[in-house]
């Protein structure tokens, strides 16, 4: 699923992110504009640093520092991503505000997420409690994907859909509760 922090270096990853944002938002005029004003992209970049701190072994206080950084990024962008979440390459959050991504969430490559999306957990459970989102998934504005479920690759979750069960690959999910149909 998510390739996390493997692969190309920092400059290559930034370039990938800028291209993904331009691909995901037809209103984007230039990579410079995207780099300067896109809060969803700033949230992803902040998360990458926080995630590195979160997974650092032998660095006293690194998890606390990761949580503090995540809160600073949340205050600045309106996007809350737990530093433990694993996010793949070319992930783009369009409009950003109100996004919440939980600690054990895993997001694949080339995922497009709109504002107000929640990748939430079911309370009181230790271990995996947040969704795994496959590659090339689109998560519509205001959708909620809850629990230790899988959203299969190449699926689309419609705006304001509530997903509480696994979604097969190549599906479109709509409604409350979400109902999956072949794409």
**Confidence grade of residue 7 (pLDDT, cut at 50, 70, 90):** low
Query: What pLDDT score was predicted for residue 2?
Result: 46
74 part of a folded domain: yes
167 part of a folded domain: yes
111 part of a folded domain: yes
1 part of a folded domain: no
pLDDT in tens, 120-156: 998 778 889 999 999 999 999 999 999 999 999 999 9
Question: Domain limits at 71?
Answer: 10-182
DSSP 8-state symbol, 170? S
Q: Is the pLDDT of residue 171 over 50?
A: yes
Query: What pLDDT score was predicted for residue 4?
Result: 44
118 part of a folded domain: yes
Q: What is the dihedral of CA 34, 37, 43, 47, to 10 degrees?
A: 60
pLDDT in tens, 65-103: 999 999 999 999 999 999 999 999 999 999 989 999 999
pTM above 0.85, yes or no: yes
2 part of a folded domain: no
Residue 123 gets the label, from left (phi > 0), alpha (psi -120 to 50) or beta, of beta
pLDDT in tens, 39-72: 999 999 999 999 999 999 888 899 999 999 999 9
CATH number at residue 150: 2.160.10.10
Residue 49 gets the label, from left (phi > 0), alpha (psi -120 to 50) or beta, of alpha
Of 122, 120, 157, the closest CA to residue 136 belongs to 157
* Strand stretches in 31-174, DSSP E: 80-81, 86-87, 92-94, 100-101, 106-107, 112-114, 118-120, 132-133, 138-139, 144-146, 150-151, 156-157, 162-163, 171-174
Query: What pLDDT score was predicted for residue 58?
Result: 80
Q: Determine the distance from the C-alpha atom of residue 163 to the mean position of all C-alpha atoms in its chain, rounded to a whole number.
A: 16
Of these ranges, 22-26, 27-31, 140-144, the one predicted with the greatest mean pLDDT is 140-144
**Confidence grade of residue 183 (pLDDT, cut at 50, 70, 90):** confident
Q: Is the peptide bond before 177 cis (omega within 30 degrees of 0)?
A: yes
Q: Total domain count for the chain? A: 1
Query: What pLDDT score was predicted for residue 3?
Result: 43
């Amino acid at each position: 699923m998510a390739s996390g922090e493997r692969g190309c270096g920092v400059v290559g990853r930034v370039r990938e992110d800028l291209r993904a944002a331009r691909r995901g938002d037809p209103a984007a005029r230039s990579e410079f504009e995207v780099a300067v004003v896109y809060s969803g992209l700033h949230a992803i970049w902040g998360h990458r640093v926080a995630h590195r701190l979160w997974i650092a072994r032998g660095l006293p206080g690194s998890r606390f520092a990761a949580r503090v950084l995540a809160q600073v990024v949340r205050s600045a962008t309106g996007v809350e991503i737990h530093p433990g979440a694993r996010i793949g390459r070319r992930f783009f959050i369009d409009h950003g505000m109100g996004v919440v991504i939980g600690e054990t969430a895993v997001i694949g490559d080339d995922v497009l997420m709109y504002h107000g999306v929640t990748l939430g957990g079911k309370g009181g459970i230790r271990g995996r409690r947040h969704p795994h989102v496959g590659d090339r998934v689109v998560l519509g504005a205001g959708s909620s994907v809850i629990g230790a479920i899988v959203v299969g690759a190449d699926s689309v979750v419609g705006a304001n859909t509530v997903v509480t069960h696994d979604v097969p690959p190549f599906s479109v999910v709509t409604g409350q509760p979400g109902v999956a149909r072949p794409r």
